[in-house]
Structure 1
Amino acid sequence: MADIRHPPLKNISSGDGGYQDPPFPWAVTLLASVLITTIVVDILGNLLVIISVFRNKKLRKAGNAFVVSLAIADLVVAIYPYPLVLTAIFHDGWIAGYIHCQISGFLMGLSVIGSIFNITGIAVNRYCYICHSLKYDRLFSNKNTVCYVVLVWVLTVLAIVPNWFVESLQYDPRVYSCTFAQSVSSLYTITVVVVHFILPISIVTYCYLRIWILVIQVRKRVKPDNRPKIKPHDFRNFLTMFVVFVLFAVCWAPLNFIGLAVAVNPALGQAIPKWLFTASYFMAYFNSCLNAVIYGVLNHNFRKEYKRIVMSVFKLRC
């Protein structure tokens, strides 16, 4: 096991300080396969996203600054924390030591909160672009957009820092990860879920509902003719980012609601099956590789640029 002459590497357990049931071999193989797939698709896909935006003029728009920022947030976990989790799966325990545990947990939190805050930024951007198009260029000038992206990451760091003060970054053998311990403080867990998940999801839901209402009005021609129309490519771009949001919410909701339920009623911690808890975590982990795939499937400009980049790489190798 790891050298833990640093502060002891705490384990989150289901209650008694030890951990009881050894994992089934097929379950370990499944978790490792999911994580390996996530790492490979995450790194390749999000690198394609970043390179595409910088190469293609049609993609170099203010709103796509948040897309690049979101891709960076997804890349962070694939480069450092996920490989350490994979190592823990293969060794059936954390072997990297206390410092790497803390850094891994911090970067995981940075990634997930950075993702939801960037998704919120994308939603607000799309809302302003479609519902308040006359003010959009002033609100999202290049300078302002850079400031918004910087603000997203400043808020993300500020949201993560308290974890070190409450010592909530601990190793959980159920998910082979150094992660946020939901059992450290009920009040803190509730605050985290509300501020880091429910509030941003509510803002995004409001923005997209307003856009959908406008789209329906346009389709039914109940929208006044003197107001700007929604162009087909603008609707496709909105639909792409809406799918990104829905998949994020679906992948992360189980874990957040489990945390909220346990915080409200700690006795539920014993009742939640290990497989459900583990599945909710790896479902959330898998989300980091989905966005790049969604862009390629739903966005014509991203799809074309992906092909160009891949063809360029193959030509260089040949």
Structure 2
Amino acid sequence: MDIYASTLSPALDIGAGCYLLLLTVLSIVGNLLVLVMAFKRSSKMKPPELLSVNLALTDLGAAVTMYPLAVASAWSHHWLGGEVACTYYALVGFFFGVASIVNLTVMAIVRFIVSLDLQSPKEKITWKKVKMLCIWTWLYALIWALFPILGWGRYGPEPFGLSCSLAWGQLKHEGVSFVISMFSFNLVIPTVIIICCYFGIAIKLYITYKNSMNSHRIPNIVKLHRRLLVIAVLISVGFICFWTPYGLVSLWSVFHDSSTIPPVVSLLPCMFAKSSTVYNPLIYYFFSQSFKREVKQLSWLCLSSNLCNVSNGVNDNSIYMVSANVKPKVADRSDVQEITAVTMG
């Protein structure tokens, strides 16, 4: 039996390939926009924003290095490249997946540290520290991705034959310790940390809001952090929700007979998990007014010259200094901080 032959119908293979191609295009375009926006604002970036750039790199890396091979295999009705390509695909997928969840965990911790004193102008996370955190994220993910190559765990084809990942069905005999450790350190513990950090931030914002009621005005800093908290929570919850179905099916394959799972059932969670690389840029676009505004100002995205014109409102001109002849007014602090921290969450 050819383990790299598709167990799906040709029509379903074509459909899966088209869906993956769509994900590839959307993920590359969306995450490139995040990186372009970060580059344009590099002189104004705060250190924690580098973690959002790092997250965009993990999503972009997955889309570029994995999805094209999966699309070609789906349209060929057979996994291309054999065992070598399968190991490569599984390793890269595991690598970027772990890097993403660890990056989200670090972001939650950093945001919690920043929220401890919202009024303090002093940077609590320096550039040196955040760069070290980014490097640690990649090294941690690389170590876990290499474990199956070194003999702890194993890579192999998915049951439906058009993708490769950890060989869950074989790990029930020789890799139970790997499965338990992997899920504990790369899903359960990070999820608990993320929940605790954002719950703590929410409590801090609530206390600050209550203390400000006597002044009959909610501080701008509270409004800002509330918006960033919503973005951060949506990103973290989205990633966990996208990957949870795949994790549950994988655990079932470890502790039960994987042959009892129909190929189509194993395909859907895999496709759903891959969709996570498209999710973050959409969250930035729909929930961050400054990010949406900057995207619309990109000249190469304009459908007409009017679309790229910056409005004469204070929130735009005073921040971007578009007109040198106009004396800029003092912008609302929350608007300025959102521009410099649009992807901080």
TM beyond 0.5? yes
Give the counterpart of 2:99 among 96, 114, 117. 114
Give the counterpart of 2:225 among 220, 234, 237. 234
Q: What are the Cα deviations for residues 87-136 of structure 1, in whole angstroms up to 9, with x where unaligned?
A: 11111111223333222221111111111111111111111111344789
Q: What is the aligned partner in structure 1 of residue 51 from structure 2?
A: 66
8 A Cα contact 1:56 1:305, kept in partner: no
Q: Show structure 1 runs of 5+ residues with no match.
A: 1-15
Whichever residue aligns with residue 253 of structure 1, its letter is T
Considering only aligned residues, what root-mean-square deviation do their CA atoms show, in Å? 2.9
Higher alpha-carbon Rg: 2
- Whole-Å Cα distance in 2 between the matches of residues 219 and 97 of structure 1? 58
Q: What is the aligned partner in structure 2 of residue 12 from structure 1?
A: none
- Whole-Å Cα distance in 1 between the matches of residues 28 and 101 of structure 2? 19
8 A Cα contact 1:190 1:260, kept in partner: no
Q: What is the aligned partner in structure 1 of residue 284 from structure 2?
A: 295
Q: Higher mean Cα deviation, 243-252 or 164-173? A: 164-173
Alignment pair present for 1:171 and 2:165:
no
> Equivalent residue of 1:288, what SS?
helix
- Whole-Å Cα distance in 2 between the matches of residues 222 and 165 of structure 1? 56
Alignment pair present for 1:214 and 2:204:
yes
8 A Cα contact 1:58 1:301, kept in partner: no
Pair 110,135 (structure 1): closer, same or farther in 2 beyond 3 Å: farther
> Equivalent residue of 2:164, what SS?
strand
Q: Higher mean Cα deviation, 228-237 or 177-186? A: 228-237
Pairing 1:41-52 to 2, within 5 Å after superposition: 41-52=26-37
Q: What are the Cα deviations for residues 179-217 of structure 1, in whole angstroms up to 9, with x where unaligned?
A: 111123222122211111111111111101111222333
Pair 147,313 (structure 1): closer, same or farther in 2 beyond 3 Å: farther
- Whole-Å Cα distance in 1 between the matches of residues 120 and 224 of structure 2? 20
> Equivalent residue of 2:168, what SS?
coil
Q: Higher mean Cα deviation, 302-311 or 214-223? A: 214-223
**More RCO (CA 8 Å, sep 6+):** 1
> Equivalent residue of 1:161, what SS?
helix
Q: Higher mean Cα deviation, 247-256 or 88-97? A: 88-97
Shift of 1:58: 8.4
8 A Cα contact 1:175 1:281, kept in partner: no
Pair 233,164 (structure 1): closer, same or farther in 2 beyond 3 Å: same
> Equivalent residue of 1:179, what SS?
strand
Q: What is the aligned partner in structure 1 of residue 166 from structure 2?
A: 180
- Whole-Å Cα distance in 1 between the matches of residues 140 and 6 of structure 2? 39
Shift of 1:289: 1.1
Q: What is the aligned partner in structure 2 of residue 309 from structure 1?
A: 298
Whichever residue aligns with residue 226 of structure 2, its letter is F
8 A Cα contact 1:52 1:59, kept in partner: no
- Whole-Å Cα distance in 1 between the matches of residues 15 and 7 of structure 2? 15
Q: Show structure 2 runs of 5+ residues with no match.
A: 306-345
Q: What is the aligned partner in structure 1 of residue 272 from structure 2?
A: 283
8 A Cα contact 1:217 1:223, kept in partner: no
Give the counterpart of 1:155 among 140, 143, 164. 140
Shift of 1:51: 0.9
Q: What is the aligned partner in structure 1 of residue 180 from structure 2?
A: 190
Pair 217,138 (structure 1): closer, same or farther in 2 beyond 3 Å: closer
Pair 175,251 (structure 1): closer, same or farther in 2 beyond 3 Å: farther
Q: Higher mean Cα deviation, 137-146 or 38-47? A: 137-146
Whichever residue aligns with residue 238 of structure 1, its letter is L
Q: What are the Cα deviations for residues 218-255 of structure 1, in whole angstroms up to 9, with x where unaligned?
A: 44449999xx9843122212211110111101100111
Q: Higher mean Cα deviation, 207-216 or 44-53? A: 207-216
Give aligned pairs, total: 297
Q: What is the aligned partner in structure 2 of residue 38 from structure 1?
A: 23
Shift of 1:291: 0.6
Q: Higher mean Cα deviation, 44-53 or 186-195? A: 186-195
The sequence identity of aligned pairs, in percent, is 21
